[in-house]
């Protein structure tokens, strides 16, 4: 997600960069403004997300605008945006240990994101954004946070029998890009996401003109990209009651111009030149299997423009 001077940025939860393994340690590292977070029993997923939230300058600025006087009536131990504000402030303070970290984990637990349980980073990311919408008393500010991540797309569905087309607008807070078994590039996966797909047999859709289910063609057009684009590389696939992880390689650039990736017919909105261009500043990585794994985060520090690896309590320069 973002850093100062990176007004338009992007991040990938669940990507797969090579990771270095460090010995487990209870000490905190603090390099520049990056602070390690202790693993309180399977909290690596939330820890990695907190590192990317903390690096998202735009989010930190908006959360800090939330007025303290406005929060009197809140049940503070249950309020996710309040606890998120506290932990992000603590991560950037000089305190020896960021105490609100434990409060944040317990607050998530009270909101059904359980402690001592393995989670999926994209699911927790979306749950936290939804809880901000529900629990923030300043609804205008909550909407601004939502708009920070909101990709707007136009969905169109064409009946292959009568050619009738139905359109609708959808909003996505992260882009779920399907991966192939073989090598992938981010650019290809992004383009495929917007490509026309034929829906046949079990996937047929109801056509309002024909009055029955028909084979259809479904496609997406991009209307608007937000200041922060969050990309979810879909490594987990559920088949026949169990979850499989795809280990295929995904290569991606550090800067991206989405205009060069999409075909003109895949775009519906109008964009300024600068609205296409993004810098990568955070990558959340899952290593291990679908049954048991570990999350870490790579963060690009806006101060020195170097990459750091945050593995729970350890933060190291790459």
Enumerate binding residues for Zn ion (CB under 5 A).
159, 161-162, 164, 207, 209-210
Note if 44 is an active site residue: yes
Give the nearer residue to Zn ion in terms of CB position, either 65 or 209: 209
Closest distance to Zn ion from the beta carbon of 161 (Å)? 5
Q: Pick the catalytic residue: 232, 286, 294, 309?
A: 294
Give the nearer residue to Zn ion in terms of CB position, either 24 or 162: 162
Give the nearer residue to Zn ion in terms of CB position, either 34 or 159: 159
Q: Determine how β-strand 307-311 pairs with β-strand 212-214.
A: unpaired
Give the nearer residue to Zn ion in terms of CB position, either 70 or 161: 161
Single out the residue of 45, 63, 24 nearest to residue 114, CA to CA. 45
Closest distance to Zn ion from the beta carbon of 212 (Å)? 8
Closest distance to Zn ion from the beta carbon of 205 (Å)? 9
Closest distance to Zn ion from the beta carbon of 219 (Å)? 16
| Residues paired with residue 314 on neighbouring β-strands, in sequence order | 311
Note if 294 is an active site residue: yes
Give the nearer residue to Zn ion in terms of CB position, either 67 or 198: 198
Closest distance to Zn ion from the beta carbon of 170 (Å)? 22
The Cβ-side half-sphere exposure at 76, using a 13 Å CA radius, reads: 9
Q: DSSP labels for 162-222?
A: T--EEEEEEEESSEEEE--SS-EEHHHHHHHHHS-EEE-GGG-EEETTTTEEE-EEEEEEE
Active site residues: 44, 294
């Amino acid at each position: 997600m973002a850093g100062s001077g990176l007004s338009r940025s992007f991040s990938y939860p669940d990507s797969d960069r090579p990771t270095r393994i460090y010995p487990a340690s209870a000490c905190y590292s603090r390099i520049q403004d990056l602070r390690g977070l202790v693993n309180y029993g399977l909290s690596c997923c939330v820890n990695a997300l907190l590192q990317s939230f903390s690096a998202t300058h735009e989010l930190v600025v908006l959360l800090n605008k939330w007025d303290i006087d406005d929060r009197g009536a809140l049940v503070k131990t249950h309020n996710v945006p309040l606890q998120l504000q506290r932990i992000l402030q603590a991560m950037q303070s000089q305190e020896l240990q960021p105490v609100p970290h434990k409060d944040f984990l317990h607050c998530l637990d009270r909101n059904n994101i359980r402690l001592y349980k393995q989670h999926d980073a994209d699911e927790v990311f979306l749950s936290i954004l939804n809880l901000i919408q529900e629990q923030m008393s300043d609804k205008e500010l909550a909407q601004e946070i939502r708009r920070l991540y909101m990709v707007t797309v136009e969905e169109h569905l064409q009946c292959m029998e009568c050619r009738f087309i139905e359109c609708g607008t959808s909003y996505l807070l992260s882009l779920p890009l399907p991966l192939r078994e073989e090598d992938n590039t981010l650019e290809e996966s992004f383009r495929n996401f917007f490509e026309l797909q034929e829906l046949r047999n079990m996937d047929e859709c109801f056509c309002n003109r024909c009055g029955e289910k028909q084979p259809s063609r479904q496609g997406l057009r991009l209307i608007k990209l937000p200041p922060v684009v969050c990309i979810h590389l879909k490594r987990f696939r559920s088949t026949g009651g169990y979850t499989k992880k795809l280990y295929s390689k995904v290569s991606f650039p550090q800067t991206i111009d989405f205009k060069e990736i999409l075909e003109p017919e895949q775009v519906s909105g109008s964009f300024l030149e600068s609205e296409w261009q993004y810098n990568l500043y955070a990558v959340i990585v899952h290593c291990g299997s679908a049954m048991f794994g570990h999350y870490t985060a790579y963060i690009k520090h806006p101060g020195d423009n170097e990459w750091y690896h945050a593995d729970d309590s350890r933060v190291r320069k790459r």
